[in-house]
Amino acid sequence: MNELLNARLKQYIAAETAILTGGQSYKIGNRTLTRADLAEIQSVISRLISAGATVDGAARTGSRSRQVVLRD
């Protein structure tokens, strides 16, 4: 189960990076399209970390905190 959580965490972090570097939405003509919801992705990342997922696959020991820096 931890392998699945770790894989999902990596995917969500990649999605967060794509949004932060490529933009959350874009415009075609007069329509604005949203690629993904950054706040929702960050929420899922927090839940996965709370559930024990790690990026490096190591078992979690003790409590950890995560600082989130929002960028425009």
Mean per-residue pLDDT, 50-68: 73
Global pTM reads 0.66
Question: pLDDT-derived band of residue 11, with 50, 70 and 90 as boundaries?
Answer: very high
Interhelix angle 38-50/2-22, nearest 10 degrees: 150
12-39 pLDDT, tens per residue?
Answer: 999 999 888 887 788 899 998 887 889 9
Report d(CA 6, CA 28) in Å as an integer. Answer: 36
Task: Kindly state the average pLDDT of the residues 35-62.
Answer: 84
Q: Tell me the torsion sign for CA atoms 41, 42, 43, 45.
A: positive
In whole angstroms, what is the distance from residue 17 CA to residue 54 CA?
17
Q: In the predicted model, what is the mean pLDDT of the chain? A: 84
> Where do we find the tokens 């990076």?
17
Question: Per-residue pLDDT for 62 more than 70?
Answer: no
Domain boundaries defined on the chain = 1-72
